Copies of this chain bind each other. A is one copy, B any other.
Amino acid sequence: MTELRPGDASLLRKVNTQVTLRALRREGVATLTRLGRITGLSRQTVEAVLDELGGRGWVREVPPDEGVMGRPARRFGFRADAGHVVGVDVGGDRILACLADLNGDVVAWERAGVPDDAPAPERLEAARRTSLACVDAAGVPRTRVLTVAAGTSGIVDRTGRVSLSTVLPGWTGVDLAGLAGRWFGCTGLAANDANLAALAEHWRGSAQHASDVVYVLAGHRLGAGILIGGRLHAGRSGAAGEIGALRQVGWDDAARELVKEAGAEEVFAAAGAGDPEALRRVDHYAEGLAIGASALVLTVDPDLLVIGGGKARAGEVLLAPLRRHLAELCLRAPEVVTSTFGEESVALGAVRLALDHVEREVLNL
């Protein structure tokens, strides 16, 4: 549970530094008095904290406001550009890298294709090049990157190694976190793509106000990411949510049948237009999805179910039958929504993971 260490006086400073910094980051730019009011601390305390943070480079004083009553207050701003993080989605056929500042504001994207059957070294090299290019293009010095996080399909253990991948050739056993860290000479992290997508949706997407979230990645395979209490739950070996293995749910058949003749997009489009055969097929696909999801939903009983991955673009055409089947399968089905970030969610989730790490370790709060 909560590790509990005794506190000497400096603990207080630590806590108040954290409180102040959070308030400042929410405000963007603020005066001492304002920060004092919203944190509940005295102006003097806030000033001392900000002095220290300024010395460490996390906070900078900005010119005072003009045209306002009274003596102009010194104003401070969080230096979001004091450091950066990189999130990279290492997918089956493409690499997507994202550079963000400490506020999580995206500074640059970089994208590259990679062959489906590319061997691991080639894929890794592409990921490396794309990540570096992303940073260079933004004009950010590589040394400013404090943490890099990578997302990929397959099972990623807590050390960031891919312990099992069934789709990417030679991917099993790759120490993704370690390698990614070496690209920039900083800490590297790695996690499962569905998990990161869930994180992204909770951060700024459709799952913002939910605490327990199940994110279902409906693509070629069925993967899922789980958030418990707003935090990622990866499980003992990182395999939490890998419900695809549950053969009983008959997921594979449903997916195969959807794309039997035409592409998935076409089928969804036809279903949207009212074509009966297309509707039947979408319904069958939705049922398979619902059965897989129901195992997750019944287990976790989440506040929200988010549907992501390629098939989520179909929107209500897929969601309506999905909700119907889910209501049949679960005692009390949660709200169901689609992902807001689509293709970018994994890279954004990686950014969030990296930011979490920075906030915990580097700002050592």
Interface set of A (CB-CB < 8 Å, partner B): 1, 4-9, 11-12, 15-16, 18-19, 22, 39-41, 155, 164, 212, 224, 226, 228-231, 233-243, 245-250, 291, 294-296, 298-303, 329-332, 334
Contacts and interface: CB of A to CB of B under 8 A. Distances in A.
B246 A329 contact: yes
A299 B241 contact: yes
Q: Identify which of A212, A226, A300 gathers the most chain B CB atoms within 10 Å of its CB.
A: A300
Nearest to A238: B301
Contacts of A6: 15-16, 19, 39-41
A40 B5 contact: yes
A248 B5 CA distance: 48
B301 A234 contact: yes
Contacts of A233: 212, 228, 300
A187 to B, nearest CB: 21
Contact of A331 (B164, B299, B334): B164
A330 B248 CA distance: 12
Contact of A242 (B241, B248, B331): B331
A331 B163 CA distance: 11
Given A6-B41, A240-B299, A295-B298, 13 more contacts: A4-B18, A4-B19, A6-B40, A8-B12, A11-B15, A12-B12, A212-B236, A233-B300, A235-B302, A236-B303, A239-B301, A240-B300, A245-B331
B40 A298 contact: no
16 contacts: A1-B230, A7-B11, A11-B12, A224-B299, A236-B302, A236-B303, A236-B334, A240-B301, A241-B298, A242-B298, A242-B331, A243-B299, A245-B298, A245-B329, A246-B298, A247-B329
Nearest to A301: B235
A246 B292 CA distance: 10
A300 B298 CA distance: 12
Contacts of A7: 11-12, 15-16, 19
